[in-house]
Structure formats: structure tokens, C-alpha cells
Amino acid sequence: MQMKFTKMQGLGNDYVYVNCLKEKVESPSEMARRVSDRHFGVGSDGLILICPSECADFEMKMYNADGSRGEMCGNGIRCVGKYVYDYGLTDQTEISVETLGGIKHLSLTVEEGKVALVKVDMGSPIFVPEQIPVKVEGDHAVNVPISVDGDEYRMTCVSMGNPHAVVYLDDIQNMEIEKIGPKFEHHPCFPNRVNTEFARVLDRETVEMRVWERGSGETLACGTGACAVAVASMVNGLTEDCVTVQLLGGNLKIEWDREKNVVYMTGPATVVFDGELYE
């Protein structure tokens, strides 16, 4: 059995994409672990299935490199938008995509017949601890203390459909993320584990970040994570409501329309290659 796939990346956050309107993936979690391996597989941060939907134009199913399912994927959904237009599954530039984090609406910017930029309505950030979920005292997890591996931090937790913990540090370039990242990911206060963003505010319009992703480790970029950092910075009064988030793989523009209470993320999506996976 040969399975056709397309390798795509959003700011270096790379996934293997499968068009499940044509292909069939029996066990996605096992396939995610297999294709993500950068030596024995294709090499990626995970697997994303593009599927038909009863309630939207398409459905996106996202799996991390460890096979666990993520509710939402920001860089991934931009690539889904590019795929369905460039590969002829739609001729629309306003599309909807069903995810476990709700239906997302995408606006595609087309240049010379191909999608160059995607703006995503990422929905409303969720700060209610039980809905993130995170176990804390009180009715929010904004700038709250957490003890990790014997060290004290302050974090702001938010869900963008998937769980995030944002931690501000003075130096994120030299930190040992591979040591502290897993300690946050598996911390007992996160019943479903967590994606952790380590951030530094550069000015009122600019934040830099690194991310240790639940189920994938450090990635070069995380769209939902960039949204989490942006809204955390805004609720903590550190930035304006429209910021540039600088990630290792590039920049994302994030704006929080407070009146509508929706977050918009704008960024690129790139096809790397098409391939076939042999048994």
C-alpha cells in the first residue's frame, strides 16, 4: 500500500499532510509516530489529515509526533487552507475548517494562482481554568505562581482550543528548553498536559517566544502558541492588542479584536514536496 502525502510547513513547523478525501489512514496515531521520525520516516512535527466535514468545508485532524491528538493547530490550519486551494479541492478564498477546537474561518490571499498568505479567525481565548484545563486556586490562571523542578515561575494559562502556559523570562535564547519544557508539559497541574511558551516582550508591539509543544517537543513555531503569548501579553498589560510574535521560524501577526472577542492570526504556508509512503 502506498500512501500519497504532501510535506508542508508554516514558519518551519512542519507536518505531513494527507488528503483523506482520497487516501485512507487506518490508525492515525501510529501513522503520526511513523512519519514524524526524522530518520526512519518522512520527518515532521506530526501528521495532519484533511477530511470531509458535515458542518464545514473541510475537517482538520492533527496528531503530534508522539501520536497524541491536538485539538487545534495554527500553522497547520494555514497549510490546510493553502492545500485545499492549490490542489483544487476548492476555488473559494473564504473557507471554514472543522477542528476539535471549533470551526475556524480562513481568508486566503492568492498570488499567481497559489495561496501566499492566510488569515485565520482563531476564535476566542479561554481563560477559565477548568476549560483550559489547569488546576489552580481561583477563577483564572493569569500571572499565577507555579513550582517546576524546584524553581518558582509565574505563568498565564489560556486555551486556543488546546492548552497553553505562557512564562515570561529575561533570556529565552540561552535557556535549556529541553530540560524545563518536559517538566511543564507533564506537570500534575495540567490534566491533559500543556504546550508551554517561553516569552520575552521586546516592546508594546513585539514579543519573542520559544515553545515546547505537547507531544512534539520544541518546534520552530506554534500558531496557537503565538496566539496564547499575544493574548497573555495583552491581558497582563504588556502590549497593545495587535502584535508581531517573533518565533524561531519567523514572524506571525496576531490581533485580538476585543469587541468581537476573536483572535486573528496572519502568516504564510508553504508546500515543501509531494511524496508517497511505501509499506
- Could you tell me which residues are annotated as the binding site for substrate? 13, 64, 74-75, 162, 195, 213-214, 223-224
Alpha carbons 140 and 160: distance in angstroms, whole number: 15
Q: Is the peptide bond before 133 cis (omega within 30 degrees of 0)?
A: yes
Q: With contact defined as beta carbons under 8 Å apart, do 39 and 6 qualify?
A: no
Q: Is 191 helix (H, G, I), strand (E, B) or coil?
A: coil
Could you confirm whether 73 is annotated as catalytic?
Answer: yes
Q: Closest CB to ligand API among 76 and 81?
A: 76
Please, what is the minimum distance in Å from the beta carbon of residue 152 to ligand API? 25
Q: Closest CB to ligand API among 108 and 252?
A: 252
**Which is catalytic among the residues 79, 157, 189, 222?**
222
Q: Closest CB to ligand API among 152 and 160?
A: 160
Residues tagged in the binding site annotation: 13, 64, 74-75, 162, 195, 213-214, 223-224
Please, what is the minimum distance in Å from the beta carbon of residue 195 to ligand API? 5
Element (H, E) at 19: strand 13-19
Residue 235 is classified by DSSP as H
Please, what is the minimum distance in Å from the beta carbon of residue 213 to ligand API? 4
From 71, 82, 95, select the one nearest 8 (Cα to Cα). 82
Could you confirm whether 242 is annotated as catalytic?
Answer: no
Q: Closest CB to ligand API among 224 and 239?
A: 224
From 213, 193, 261, select the one nearest 73 (Cα to Cα). 213
Please, what is the minimum distance in Å from the beta carbon of residue 113 to ligand API? 26
**Which residues contact ligand API (rule: CB under 6 A)?**
13, 64, 70, 73-76, 162, 195, 213-216, 219, 222-225
Residue 124 burial by Cβ neighbours in a 10 Å radius (0-12, 13-18, 19+): middle
What amino acid positions are annotated as catalytic residues?
A: 73, 222
